[in-house]
Amino acid sequence: MESKNARLGLQLFSVYLLFYGGFVFISAFKAEWMEATPVAGINLAILYGFGLIISALVLALIYGVTCKGEDEVPAPPSTDAKSATAAKNGESA
User: What is the C-alpha end-to-end distance of the chain, expressed in Å?
Assistant: 27
Q: CA angle, corner 75, sides to 73 and 79, nearest 5?
A: 140
Using CB under 8 A, pick the residue from 5, 22, 38, 69 that binds other proteins: 5
Q: Which of residues 26-65 bind other proteins (CB under 8 A)?
A: 27-29, 31, 34-35, 37, 40-43, 45-46, 49-50, 52-54, 56-57, 59-61, 63-64
4 is a contact residue toward other proteins (CB under 8 A): no
22 is a contact residue toward other proteins (CB under 8 A): no
Decide if 33 contacts 77 (C-beta within 8 A): no
Q: Annotate 24-57 with DSSP letters as a single string.
A: HHHHHH-GGGGG---BTTB-HHHHHHHHHHHHHH
Decide if 68 contacts 77 (C-beta within 8 A): no
Interacting residues with other proteins (CB under 8 A): 2, 5-6, 9-10, 12-13, 16, 20, 23-25, 27-29, 31, 34-35, 37, 40-43, 45-46, 49-50, 52-54, 56-57, 59-61, 63-64, 67, 71, 75-76, 78, 81-82, 85-86, 88-91, 93
